[in-house]
Copies of this chain bind each other. A is one copy, B any other.
Amino acid sequence: MGITKTEIFTEEQNQIAKIAKVIGHPARVAIIEYLIRVDQCICGDLVEEIGLAQPTISQHLRELKNVGLIKGNIEGTSVCYCIDPINWNHIKALFSSFFDTYKNEACDEQCC
């Protein structure tokens, strides 16, 4: 079917999955890492930097914006993109908490 049964999962599970899915493409990881390195840039910079077509980059930017990882501000004919600081912290906390839930005490033998 290709369709996910979101209704049988919790809000939190769907939220983690939704954000992870967006991070789950190397182009979007590359965009994020570039944005962190240069603080802010426009779509054209990313097209040059990453080497995908402009519509493709634009599409990836939209998905990153949809989940709040980045934000964009119109500046004349171009759009200035950057990490969304507030949301970044929320998402970081969400994933920290997810990864911290597992405690591997003995780290070896207790598990199957």
- Total residues of chain A contacting the partner, CB 8 A: 57
Per-position contact with B for A75-96: 1 when CB-CB < 8 Å, else 0? 1000011110110110110011
Copies of the polypeptide in the assembly = 2
9 A-B contacts (beta carbon < 8 Å): A9-B27, A13-B29, A16-B23, A17-B23, A24-B24, A40-B111, A40-B112, A83-B104, A85-B111
Contact assessment for A29 and B8 in the assembled complex, using a CB-CB cutoff below 8 Å? no
Write the nearest CB–CB distance from A100 to chain B, whole angstroms.
8
Write the nearest CB–CB distance from A82 to chain B, whole angstroms.
4
**Partner-B contacts on A (CB < 8 A):** 4-6, 8-10, 13-14, 16-30, 33, 36, 39-40, 50-52, 71-73, 75, 80-83, 85-86, 88-89, 91-92, 95-96, 98-102, 104, 107-108, 110-112
